[in-house]
Amino acid sequence: MMNEVRFIKNNGSRWKEFETFLSSGKKVNPDILSRYYIELTDDLAFSKTFFPNSKTTKYLNQLTLKAHNQVFKRRKTGRNAFLRFFAIDYPLVVYANRKNIFYAFLIFVISAIVGIISLQSDSSYVVSVLGEDYVATTLDNIEKGEPMAIYDSHPSLPMFFYIAWNNIRVSFMAFSMGILAGFGTFYIMFFNGLMVGTFQYFFFTKGLIVESGLAIWLHGTVEITSIIFAGGAGIRLGRSILFPGTFPRIVSIRKGGSEGAKMVAGLIPLFIIAAFIESYLTRNYDKSYTFDLIIIGGSILFILAYFFIYPYLLTKNQNYAKQRENDAL
């Protein structure tokens, strides 16, 4: 663990820079101000933990209080805060956790492949994953010529509320189980991937890959992507426990939990959209394959634009703006 002298040496210039930044009297970019504030609170937490009675801690406490007043004086509330979250805060936290999201995606894909290989080796494997009742009902529907009738087995409105709640519940579980050093999240992601892979290959063996693919991915494009992002949030929490870096573990967990919670909270509208599609549109997937492809294609374009392209461009612009502010000091 670093001593106080090294701690000051590593961070002192940044504190002085921030102090100058606050005292300049210039109009400050609120996003850059927030970034500085987050870094400062992390430093203060570290200092309070290891040097509670030092002058460094008193200095950081005063500087943090000054920064707090400026940050929350400028922060907007109500509708603007809501829009800001989805327009700026959420894309930034997604981009910062792109590696964690990739790890969750990798777990999901590998487990889907495991499901396919297992079903190839043992035709009864589908029962152990999807359940005996579900498989029996689906086989009966296939014989009737209605392979996806399972999506039309309940009224739309109750189905909508149930699916939305269940998906939100699963996403919070995928995140919160990260507290088990990430292993809980791994299990949830692996099992979900296993189900999808087994389900799709089961219909492939029945010659119904097109029908099942359209029905599942009509809502699944948004739903499954969101679950993978929730898995990324859980991995972020797990890594904060296993790899705290230079932070005390409690500080690292707080940071990981905060970022993960933001990632999951931002997914709630997407789960509601996915639930609506599954409850009202998936049951009519066979009415127009063109319509299905438009919905799936539009979902893919939205995901690529909002979760990948936009966060990259926003982060790049934020870094440029921060550099401009630093150059102006």
Per-residue model confidence (pLDDT) at position 131: 92
- What share of residues in the chain are helix, strand, coil (percent, to 5)? 85, 0, 15
Q: Report the distance separating Cα 263 and Cα 93, nearest Å.
A: 7
Average pLDDT (117-132) is 94
Listed range (45-54, 185-194, 219-228) with the worst mean pLDDT: 45-54
C-alpha closest to that of 254 among 233, 242, 237: 237
Q: Report the distance separating Cα 166 and Cα 250, nearest Å.
A: 31
77: left (phi over 0), alpha (psi -120 to 50) or beta: beta
In this structure, what token pair is assigned to residue 245?
Answer: 């870096």
**209-261 per-position pLDDT tens digit:** 999 999 999 999 999 999 999 999 999 999 999 998 777 788 889 889 999 99
Backbone angles phi, psi at 147, to 5 degrees: -60, -30
Residue with the bigger pLDDT between 72 and 19: it is: 19
Give Cα separations from 276 to 146, 158, 169, 200, 269 (angstroms).
21, 11, 16, 22, 11
Listed range (146-160, 226-240, 298-312) with the worst mean pLDDT: 146-160
**16-42 per-position pLDDT tens digit:** 888 887 777 666 666 667 777 778 888
Asked if the model's pLDDT at residue 329 lies above 50, the reply is no
Q: What angle do CA 64, 68, 73 make, to 5 degrees?
A: 160
Per-residue model confidence (pLDDT) at position 328: 44
Q: Quick one: pLDDT band at residue 319, thresholds 50, 70, 90?
A: low
* H/E run at residue 207: none
